[in-house]
């Protein structure tokens, strides 16, 4: 089993305490935990960089690391007692999104045989891939990855988008590139971090577009979410009324589901709506896409509350 850690593609590591191999080894599992580049070191596009060696995939260096790790597993895991023909990849949050991406990235085919997606979405808009050079091509990501790269360059006094500008970007220190994890230029400034990118060579489409088009890999999956995920972030509102208004013509139906007798706390409703939109319904969508093609798919719901 190969564990891909979460952290929004900006933090985390394969050596976190919750990545301990001991419970897995006790059950006869060979566990591999990996690291991959994060933030702008992992996901970055710039016009001159796209023009340089145009035959190469660009932008998704974090995904390239994951694929390199899976190739390493194929070549070497037998020496550790593992079976290269029985590899399961699994991840949580950004790690789950990574599993979704690896299921649909052509160059990852054949590197694993089963997938487990923990709170990893499946619908567009949840870290699924920003267009590399087309503005307003995606309602969730109207700003392209290359424009975001230019925004980051501008923050560091680098103007233009030619080879000279690229050379200046390459002269920045790692600390300047990481930039304390800042994703915007100031509190309400321009976006300076893209996240995963639809570059057209490595990442050619989102999981949703692949599944809706019937392009489902023959890889059995387990997918699911928690009964209460993060309270906001993808769906935001300041009151019950403003939240229910987001449902448009389905407002009354939504109220009957989330607040039937007008006593449910707003924070709870907001959490439930975010959970359903971002994790729970996309999990069912993904599982149904696989099952329709005859590929085994299992859904879980984790609702245990520790005393």
pLDDT tens for each residue of 252-273: 999 999 999 999 999 999 999 9
Residue 105: per-residue pLDDT: 97
Residue 21: per-residue pLDDT: 85
First vs last C-alpha separation in the chain: 30
Residue 80 lies in a domain: yes
Residue 96 lies in a domain: yes
Task: Please give the average per-residue pLDDT across 159-166, as a whole number.
Answer: 96
Structure tokens at 222: 């387990």
Residue 81 lies in a domain: yes
pLDDT tens for each residue of 99-152: 999 999 999 999 999 999 999 999 999 889 999 999 998 889 999 999 999 999
Q: Residue 234: pLDDT above 90?
A: no
Q: What is the chain's percent helix, strand, coil content, to nearest 5? A: 40, 10, 45
**How much is the pTM?**
0.95
The enclosing domain of 46 has a CATH number of 3.40.50.1820
Q: How many domains does the chain have?
A: 1
Strand 88-92 and strand 114-118: the pairing is parallel
- Which domain covers residue 117, as residue numbers? 1-219
Residue 149 lies in a domain: yes
Neighbouring C-beta atoms of residue 21, cutoff 10 Å: 14
Report the chain's mean pLDDT, rounded to a whole number: 95
Query: Residue 16: CA atoms inside 13 Å, Cβ hemisphere, count?
Result: 13
Residue 246 lies in a domain: no
């Amino acid at each position: 089993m190969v564990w891909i850690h979460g952290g929004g593609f900006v933090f985390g590591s394969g050596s976190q305490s919750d990545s301990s191999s001991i419970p897995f080894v006790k059950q006869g599992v060979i566990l591999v935990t990996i690291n991959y580049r994060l933030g702008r070191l992992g996901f970055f596009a710039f016009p001159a960089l796209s023009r340089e060696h145009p035959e190469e995939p660009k932008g998704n260096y974090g995904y390239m690391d994951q694929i390199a790790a899976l190739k390493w597993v194929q070549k070497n895991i037998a020496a550790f007692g593992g079976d290269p023909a029985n590899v399961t990849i699994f991840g949580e949050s950004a790690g789950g999104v990574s599993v979704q991406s690896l299921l649909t990235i052509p160059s990852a085919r054949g590197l694993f045989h089963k997938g487990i997606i923990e709170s990893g979405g499946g619908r567009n808009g949840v870290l699924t891939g920003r267009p590399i050079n087309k503005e307003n091509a995606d309602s969730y990501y109207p700003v392209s990855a290359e424009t975001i790269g230019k925004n980051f360059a501008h923050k560091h006094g680098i103007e233009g988008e030619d080879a000279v500008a690229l050379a200046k970007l390459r002269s920045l220190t790692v600390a300047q590139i990481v930039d304390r994890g800042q994703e915007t230029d100031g509190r309400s400034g321009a976006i300076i971090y893209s996240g995963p990118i639809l570059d057209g060579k490595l990442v050619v489409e989102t999981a949703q577009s692949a599944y809706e088009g019937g392009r489902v890999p023959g890889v059995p999956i387990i997918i699911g979410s928690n009964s209460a995920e993060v309270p906001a972030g993808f769906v935001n509102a300041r009151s019950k009324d403003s939240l229910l208004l987001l449902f448009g013509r389905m407002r009354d139906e939504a109220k009957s589901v989330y607040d039937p007798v007008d006593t449910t706390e707003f924070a709870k409703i907001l959490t439930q709506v975010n959970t359903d939109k971002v994790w729970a319904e996309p999990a069912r969508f993904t599982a149904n896409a696989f099952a329709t093609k005859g590929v085994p798919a299992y859904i879980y719901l984790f609702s245990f509350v520790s005393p």
